[in-house]
Structure 1
Amino acid sequence: MPQPLRFAQALLAQFTQLSRADDGATLLGDFVRASAELSACELSQLYLLDATHTRLVLNAEYWQGLLQPRAATSLPADYDGEQLLQYALCQNKVLSLCELNASLHETGFLPPGAKPWKSLLCVPLLDQHKAVRGLLVCASRDHRELAGFADSLGQLGSFALGQMRLLQPSRRSPGASPSSVDVVPVASGFGLIGKSPAMRQTCKLISKVLNNPYTVLLMGETGTGKEVVARAIHDSGSRSSKAFIVQNCAAFPESLLESELFGYRKGAFTGADRDRVGLFDAADGGTLLLDEIGDMPLSLQAKLLRVLQEGEIRPLGSNDTHKIDVRIIAATHCDLIARVADGRFREDLYYRLAQFPIELPALRDRGGDALDLARHFARQACTFLKLDQLDWSDAALDHLCGYAFPGNVRELKGLVERAILLCEGDELLPEHFALRRAPEPADGGLNLRARLGQIERGLLLDCLRKTDGNQTIAARQLGLPRRTLLYRMARLNIRACDVGS
């Protein structure tokens, strides 16, 4: 910034100007105009999350020296597919590019023109609760370094959001209690990927427990991402600056697990030639994830219960207890209620752990999230292997859509990484994915589920044959989404040769 004093004076004047706005439209228009003038960019855009926090909407645009009128019929309502915008929004990070390349970066949100855009700045805008509410985008057709403006423009944007809140009229009737806004964060807002209703509900639950000390119990099938969600709770909460430690309770025998968690004093047992700090102490002020909590031995369960109730530990070989401040997150794929009934898990510990349970959905229940995750894992794998990004064929996407993913997200990640290694061209094809197919049941000794499966298979085959194998028409006649039809075809082992027979 060549003239910081002059910039500071201009910035102060813009704060003053925004404070005088008497309606929301004027306020947002003044903000994008001020952002363009302060950064000396030809374009400034303001994107805000809608009331449900699930869609990113263009609210104001300053271009070619004028505020551009918003034509609802010509602008998309949801900018979820724009990778640059979603990166800055989801990661809550400033994105500054001084070498914008249209062949590498998707820039469909920028106005077209004869001269290409060269520089881009995306600044997340925070509300009074430090939550991301939207994005400011500044762009120039010249090569410019814009990162130096990010902090000042971010502060100006947060001020504008505060003013916007003050300008919103109260619509409550006299005597009514204050209405609370039902905040449903975008799934990717916590570093999680997915827009399905199941993931939005999961993220809504995460948002409720971020900044309180309650113990969280994460449940779900193997591979559903319990550790990823635990880290999201830690990274997005008030303990993010402290340690996040993971301990798998099934990875150690009882004696070693106790010393790992509680630590020990010199001489506590043979081989204890020095003091050792346990994981409870190492995670003090932060978060400790106890994975596979259902496999913790009963004797250790009693000690863990005391930690949760009293907030204190006693290392092995010590007579003294001391206080700790650790947030415990437990995770399991087991049915803890069943283990309580079998006497393998303490009932009092279960109710103490399940202060705030979150059931993570299986990938087969998350709709189109599997494709978003597959693309994400493919980008990660190509970057790690230093390969050019690969395209996806429609056939490969349909191939994945028809699979149930019994191993959930973990299985999907492995399948995609293997496909990247097998792909010798520039496009991923169905043959690159080795999907496990359930064998077709034999006719003899069928149980009820197998018999119903045979009936369903016959109905699908009849409909597909009547439509000459047209899956779209068949799905419409069956009253199913096409991808549900593909999933059922894969589950019932229906192939193209079966349709033609």
Structure 2
Amino acid sequence: MFADIVQPLAYAEALLGTYSRLSQAAHSARLLGDFASEAAKLSGCELAQVYLLDASHSALGLSAESLDGLLQPREVASLPADYHGGELLQFSLCQNRAVSVESLGSGLYPTDFLPACARGWDSLLCVPLVGESDVVEGLLVCASAECRNLQGFSQSFGQLGRFVMAQFSLLQRLRGPEDSSVIDGIDTCASGYGLIGKSAVMRHTYQLISKVLHSPYTVLLNGETGTGKEVVARAIHDCSPRRTKAFIVQNCAAFPENLLESELFGYRRGAFTGADRDREGLFDAAEGGTLLLDEIGDMPLALQAKLLRVLQEGEIRPLGSNDSHKINVRIIAATHRDLQAMVAQGLFREDLYYRLAQFPIELPPLRQRENDILELARHFAVRACAFLSRDLPNWSDAALDHLCSYGFPGNVRELKGMVERAVLLCEGGEFQPEHFTLRLDGLPIDRSLNLRERMEQVERTLLLDCLRKNDGNRTLVARELGLPRRTLLYRLGRLNITDAESQA
């Protein structure tokens, strides 16, 4: 198999590592993208494409493309292509044979399926992707601008492709037809980046992501609690050139100022009491990758000034050190707060706001996402059933109508928890409305109550809403309501609000 490969032992070790990495892909879209990237690296080609046949086996859909080491996002409408228009693709598919060409520049073969290349494509390898029952289900295409003999990779790529198609089929069965990330051979990650939703507002979000994906600009994700800001940040990282490096998340509201500074910048031995050794911070840990600063609106003003220098100069100075050093980290910030209003109130630095908001993306609340509620509900149900090793119940029309009538103030996070609870409650084979407990916007007012009792009821409802929105974090609730924390704790005790109620 490796007779025509230069340094066959090194190639065999790299191929073994590829199998290991591909086996860890949790999504169909991620699997195909990784396959294209790995094939390009193994062959040393600038381009690798993965095509899948549609259900009728009459057309190919470009499901993943790696060009110059970067995964290329594409609009879904531009993906389908009639493979009968390409002689090389047609021959490889119909004959189930690998095709290697070293003279594409001669113009003898049509290459409309390849992207434009300034130097022109000179070498090409087409390898059929064989699935279950030895049926050809697609093609792997590798191309180089240099004149090279790629035939030596055909056999090992054929075996690798068979493994990938088996994994692909397994992931499709586990995730279910309702939540497939690849439909009719077209990778939705090409336009949706693995995110779920086809509503107009989500398509607009995908377009914004595509604009900033391969740039170094800082991204500011803004949206209500539970809209999926961390999920979007991870999608940006996973589909960017930094995807092979670390993705680190730090919640700026989780630490007091002095601890947050040492967590981000690191420190040197003796910097403060208890610093008995050097420790690198998250900026260093995320070198070459992405650092998500969640709840950036809760970062103390003094630390905001230090973050501004990091963004402007691209360097940090650990606590207790006299020397600064450069870092290469992409910063993504996220918040549910109105930073512009905080700037006007003097609670957030104006210069930092404009530096963070190089490319703002507003994530829509679930109530604005049209029919995405049903798609998300099915997705969470599939995942919950797979985790619990249970059969997936059917969805009754009444249950779907029940969900669609709700505003979901907790957004996607609330929907996820609600569906996971329904999976546990559903003992039959079908979801019913009673399996989904929808929280009312407010409590009904008892006309027999006096003014004080009615005011306490309204206050109790307001406090519970704020607690649930902030995941029970009382410090954030006190800050949002403009109360001292001690006063908030007193009111919670007076109104008998328990921890269980605040997390409901």
Fold shared per TM-score above 0.5: yes
Is 1:98 aligned with 2:132?
A: yes
1:232-291 Cα distance to aligned partner (Å, 9 max, x none)? 111100110111000000000001000000000000000000000000000011100000
Q: Between the two structures, name the one with larger relative contact order (CA 8 Å, sep ≥ 6).
A: 2
Q: What is the CA distance between 1:54 and its match in structure 2?
A: 4.9
Q: TM-score, normalised by structure 1?
A: 0.57
Helix, strand or coil: the match of 1:389?
Answer: coil
Helix, strand or coil: the match of 1:420?
Answer: helix
Alignment of 1:32-181 (within 5 A): 45-47=59-61, 52-54=75-77, 57=80, 59=82, 97-98=131-132, 121=137, 148=159, 150=161
> What is the aligned partner in structure 2 of residue 220 from structure 1?
223
Is 1:233 aligned with 2:236?
A: yes
Alignment of 1:350-369 (within 5 A): 350-369=353-372
Q: 1:375 and 1:152 mapped to 2: Cα distance?
A: 28
> What is the aligned partner in structure 2 of residue 210 from structure 1?
213
Helix, strand or coil: the match of 1:306?
Answer: helix
Q: 1:126 and 1:335 mapped to 2: Cα distance?
A: 47
Alignment of 1:370-381 (within 5 A): 370-381=373-384
Q: What is the CA distance between 1:48 and its match in structure 2?
A: 5.5
> What is the aligned partner in structure 2 of residue 131 from structure 1?
none
How many pairs were matched up? 323
> What is the aligned partner in structure 1 of residue 272 from structure 2?
269
Q: What is the CA distance between 1:43 and its match in structure 2?
A: 5.3
Is 1:242 aligned with 2:224?
A: no
> What is the aligned partner in structure 1 of residue 260 from structure 2?
257
Is the CA contact (8 Å cut-off) linking 1:216 and 1:356 kept in structure 2?
A: yes
Q: What is the CA distance between 1:438 and its match in structure 2?
A: 2.6
Letter in 2 for 1:256: L
Is 1:318 aligned with 2:321?
A: yes
- The partner residue of 1:427 within 423, 426, 430 is 430
> What is the aligned partner in structure 1 of residue 102 from structure 2?
none
Is the CA contact (8 Å cut-off) linking 2:227 and 2:411 kept in structure 1?
A: yes
Unaligned runs of 5+ in 2: 6-49, 64-72, 85-89, 96-127, 145-156, 166-187, 448-504
Is the CA contact (8 Å cut-off) linking 1:283 and 1:326 kept in structure 2?
A: yes
1:36-85 Cα distance to aligned partner (Å, 9 max, x none)? 9xxxxx9564135999525875745889979xxxxxxxxxxxxxxxxxxx
Letter in 2 for 1:280: F
> What is the aligned partner in structure 1 of residue 352 from structure 2?
349
Letter in 2 for 1:307: V
Helix, strand or coil: the match of 2:334?
Answer: strand
Computed over aligned residues only, the root mean square deviation of the Cα atoms, in angstroms, reads 4.1
Is the CA contact (8 Å cut-off) linking 2:75 and 2:191 kept in structure 1?
A: no
- The partner residue of 2:415 within 383, 408, 412 is 412
> What is the aligned partner in structure 2 of residue 484 from structure 1?
none
Helix, strand or coil: the match of 1:358?
Answer: strand
Q: 2:305 and 2:242 mapped to 1: Cα distance?
A: 26
Q: What is the CA distance between 1:121 and its match in structure 2?
A: 3.5
1:367-420 Cα distance to aligned partner (Å, 9 max, x none)? 111111111111000001111122111111111111111111100100000000
Q: 2:307 and 2:79 mapped to 1: Cα distance?
A: 44
For residues 267 and 4 of structure 1, do their structure 2 counterparts lie closer, same or farther at Cα, with a shift above 3 Å needed? closer
Q: What is the CA distance between 1:348 and its match in structure 2?
A: 0.3
Is the CA contact (8 Å cut-off) linking 2:245 and 2:286 kept in structure 1?
A: yes
For residues 58 and 432 of structure 1, do their structure 2 counterparts lie closer, same or farther at Cα, with a shift above 3 Å needed? farther
Is the CA contact (8 Å cut-off) linking 1:311 and 1:324 kept in structure 2?
A: yes
Q: 1:372 and 1:434 mapped to 2: Cα distance?
A: 19
For residues 433 and 122 of structure 1, do their structure 2 counterparts lie closer, same or farther at Cα, with a shift above 3 Å needed? farther
Q: What is the CA distance between 1:437 and its match in structure 2?
A: 2.2
Helix, strand or coil: the match of 1:217?
Answer: strand
Is the CA contact (8 Å cut-off) linking 1:121 and 1:147 kept in structure 2?
A: no
Helix, strand or coil: the match of 2:386?
Answer: helix
Moved more, 278-287 or 386-395: 386-395
1:404-441 Cα distance to aligned partner (Å, 9 max, x none)? 11111100100000000000011111110001123487
Q: 2:445 and 2:398 mapped to 1: Cα distance?
A: 30
Q: What is the CA distance between 1:148 and its match in structure 2?
A: 2.4
Q: 1:417 and 1:253 mapped to 2: Cα distance?
A: 33
Helix, strand or coil: the match of 1:383?
Answer: helix
Q: 2:164 and 2:334 mapped to 1: Cα distance?
A: 41
- The partner residue of 1:195 within 184, 193, 198 is 198
Is the CA contact (8 Å cut-off) linking 2:52 and 2:61 kept in structure 1?
A: no
Is the CA contact (8 Å cut-off) linking 1:186 and 1:200 kept in structure 2?
A: no
Is the CA contact (8 Å cut-off) linking 1:371 and 1:401 kept in structure 2?
A: yes
Q: 1:234 and 1:334 mapped to 2: Cα distance?
A: 23
Letter in 2 for 1:275: D
> What is the aligned partner in structure 1 of residue 299 from structure 2?
296
Alignment of 1:7-26 (within 5 A): none
- The partner residue of 2:441 within 404, 418, 438 is 438
Helix, strand or coil: the match of 1:247?
Answer: strand
Q: 1:349 and 1:65 mapped to 2: Cα distance?
A: 58
Is the CA contact (8 Å cut-off) linking 1:218 and 1:359 kept in structure 2?
A: yes
Is 1:334 aligned with 2:348?
A: no
For residues 329 and 51 of structure 1, do their structure 2 counterparts lie closer, same or farther at Cα, with a shift above 3 Å needed? closer
For residues 251 and 120 of structure 1, do their structure 2 counterparts lie closer, same or farther at Cα, with a shift above 3 Å needed? farther
> What is the aligned partner in structure 2 of residue 384 from structure 1?
387
Letter in 1 for 2:76: H
For residues 271 and 186 of structure 1, do their structure 2 counterparts lie closer, same or farther at Cα, with a shift above 3 Å needed? closer
Is the CA contact (8 Å cut-off) linking 1:187 and 1:203 kept in structure 2?
A: no
Q: 1:199 and 1:228 mapped to 2: Cα distance?
A: 13
Unaligned runs of 5+ in 1: 6-31, 37-41, 67-93, 100-117, 129-145, 155-184, 445-501
